Structure 1
């Protein structure tokens, strides 16, 4: 065994590092390495001024080659020794460069490519970091190991996203089903006058559900494909990690590119477009009236009672029972007016009422309503509806009511609607001859009451 190893080592020393065949016309270059004369000439064929050694990269000052006669004789002697099986296997296992058909010996860290001696001296890799294959394999094996955990996290996130989309599909179905139940209840209340409209709204629900489910399904498909791609990449990296150095580094650039260019598909977010149940035939124009004549009001702090707190955006007024009350002169109820007034046209606004206590909403004449009257009769120049937020003056904590007010100035009407169930409440009529201002008020008996102007939805 020792003799066979010595023979194999001797045969290796008599071989050219470039062609891996026995040396032909061996020459020694400046750094002391030996090559076939034709091999080193071919390697330096297109170079000028600088001639790096293909093995150690030491710069030789010129093309002067020293013929090594003694090594030539040694090579002739070695040729007579039969090639050992280990050498033949070693030569068969050597991977060759596709461009130059030379054995791959180095790895370019910038281009992530395996290089043969001919590649090393080309202009494509000049000034690049070139390292031995074994060292490069160690570094890239370490990199591949660092990819595994993030990829596992990506897979887990993708699986969670996939499950989330499935859950959202059921959520859409449940929400639509709840709307169907509400719709059924409303139609029972409105009886046969709304039966014709029911099928149309159910169709809209089905269409909306179908569209959203289709988008969710498509999004699940994208996430599923992404999961497959991630798992494939993870498996490929895990397999690559265990390969030999040459196999690991072959195609490593493609794995790097795929990992660095991973794009996680966006999760589809949805907002269902809800269809509302229409009112009976004589109120079919209600929603058109709301959308056509909706006005954006703001509260006027200059007209506010001292017990009222106006929000910064001037959309909400809150009444808190004061510890000691000292009414401002000329003010009866805790009230506030809108900054906007109307002396013509049709206008609609909506107010949300929260809390516990009595409240008043309506319009007042600009000339008289700044001293808010105690009565709601038209003789006092103020038209408003006054209700308790709950029966018998009590209110469940968290109760919310929405009231819509529609002013038709020329017709001389102020109408009120319960926006919770979209039902008609009350109407006051008179002949309007001056500017009218929206009016918001709370009674002193109220505990904690908030009135908010609803923005156009």
Structure 2
């Protein structure tokens, strides 16, 4: 028995942890675990940056793997060792331990083999007893139906496991981005917010540590669950190939294991939203942005010929026109409208100004005269604010402007989002659709406007 156990353990050590077959041209990861090259590359196929070991989840910095020549020779030797099952001689027909008679019946209630004498036993008198051949055929069919579930479930579990690994890096990137924004906001609001930054950062670190501890553990649970599914799948397939008697011996254990399969719970890594105790105007602006933020794109059909619109319709720069005039251009001035307009409700959008020069931001009526030399102004349906300067000198390299439209109240407000402060505002009575308005002065070839 000791030799058989050692031989079985040797066979297991010579197997790939992923495909559970003998290792083929084994390679070794940085953490010392061995895999088939095709198996480990398939597991890492959709990952980028860092690659976790499927056994211990150690993060390998790249896909470089070392070929294990000595282990490869050992595998060849192990494959030449006959398995215990191959050496085992055909067993004699088992006898009933209680009556020493040939086992010929199967109790469907207790899932036990029994002899003819057991039929009249008080323990099984009212139980359904059927011949071994009939019972084996029934349970063999049941086992074959079982195979489909763990096979499909294994694929789902693998996918969920890979998603959990991807979530780890996504959470890390999101935390880094949030921490950077938090740092700049606190720096711009000076020393009064440094204590708030410290408290929130501690909370983030605690939450990040908690997630980094729980996600790998959840991943290990899925990895172990896949191992159990693979093991059960192998046992079921092997059981289906056995003789009737061998198949029914211990059949209850397989039924129980199949019935008790439970998928690990998926750990949710939803991040808590941390808020600073900031001044009322800051909190109000923050809530305004979150509630009324809209996604805008520039309309090339309304662009002056001197304005160059990016492919994603989010950026505009000024270049001296060399082409034909655009009959649909908003005005003779270098301006462009948004593709989206508003005739009701509240709306907020962000604009980044980078470089040096002069620009104008605001809203105008949809009916504003096209290709007109009329100077845009509130009297003819255009409400805007002018910005002039070197915008690369701002802390984040750009001047970030927020524009808020309250159509029903007739208000257009402008906010400096670099220091979260209110700057200007217009009031009027709006009776038709308003379009976000963007303009760059002809002397501002180094200036860029970007819609967030």
TM-score after normalising by structure 2: 0.48
- Looking at CA atoms only, which structure, 1 or 2, has the larger radius of gyration? 1
